[in-house]
């Protein structure tokens, strides 16, 4: 079995185990506990790599205000993979047919993705020396939040983003 197939199988099994744990927690809860409380408890105790690892597809839209250039809307993909010490790493890719996503900056590396309490922060380094930070409340299926990108010390883009897990 190839290494890529083993990793995909391991990722699938990790996600299935997390789903079973969530289902068991839901079955064990009594009628007085809300779904939101269960989800908050799951997020608070979950290891980020088991809850957020996978493929996330979404869009980002620039604010187009102030001195920030208007970059428009982009379709993008995060592929988050378990890294060391309970953190995530991975890859970023945006669709070249969307705004400000050209061949020299259509992909990047997720240098770190971490959850502090419930706040997810995903740091991405693009090939053209841009550094982008995507922030959101951590959630197992859908997320939305804000992002900003800098090139050296200059802010080059900012706006909102949303994504959902596809795998």
Bridge partners (DSSP) listed for residue 145: 136, 161
Helix (H) / strand (E) containing 70: none
* Per-residue pLDDT at 31: 47
Sequence-distant (≥ 6) Cβ neighbours of residue 153 within 8 angstroms: none
Sequence-distant (≥ 6) Cβ neighbours of residue 74 within 8 angstroms: 59, 60, 61, 94, 95, 98, 99, 100, 101
5 token code pair = 């197939």
Residue 21 within any structural domain of the chain: no
Q: How far is CA 35 from CA 6, 38, 46, 87, in A?
A: 34, 5, 16, 26
* Per-residue pLDDT at 39: 52
Contact 113, 145 (CB under 8 A): no
Domain count, the chain: 1
* Per-residue pLDDT at 25: 42
* Per-residue pLDDT at 76: 94
Residue 114 within any structural domain of the chain: yes
Residue 76 within any structural domain of the chain: yes
Residue 28 within any structural domain of the chain: no
Containing structural domain, residue 71: 49-165
pTM: 0.69
Residue 26 within any structural domain of the chain: no
Q: What is the pLDDT along the chain (167 residues), one digit of tens a residue?
A: 444 444 444 444 444 444 434 343 444 444 455 555 555 555 555 565 567 899 999 999 988 876 666 778 889 999 999 877 767 899 999 988 776 676 667 899 999 888 888 899 999 999 888 899 999 999 989 999 999 999 888 888 899 999 999 98
CATH number at residue 76: 2.40.128.120
Specify the 3-state DSSP secondary structure of 133. strand
117 token code pair = 């309490």
Residue 40 within any structural domain of the chain: no
Residue 129 within any structural domain of the chain: yes
């Amino acid at each position: 079995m190839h290494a890529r197939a083993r990793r995909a199988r391991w990722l699938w099994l990790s996600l299935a185990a997390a789903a079973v744990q969530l289902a068991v927690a839901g079955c064990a809860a009594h009628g007085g506990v809300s779904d939101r409380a269960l989800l908050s408890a799951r997020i608070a105790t979950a290891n980020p790599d088991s809850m957020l690892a996978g493929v996330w597809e979404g869009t980002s839209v620039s604010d187009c205000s102030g001195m920030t250039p208007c970059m428009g809307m982009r379709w993008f993909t995060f592929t988050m993979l378990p890294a060391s010490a309970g953190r995530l790493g991975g890859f970023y890719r945006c669709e070249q047919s969307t705004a400000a996503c050209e061949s020299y900056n259509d992909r990047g590396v997720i240098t770190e993705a971490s959850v502090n309490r419930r706040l997810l922060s995903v740091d991405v380094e693009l090939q053209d020396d841009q550094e982008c930070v995507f922030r959101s409340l951590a959630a197992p299926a859908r997320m939305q939040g804000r992002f900003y990108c800098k090139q050296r010390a200059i802010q080059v883009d900012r706006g909102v983003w949303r994504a959902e897990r596809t795998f």
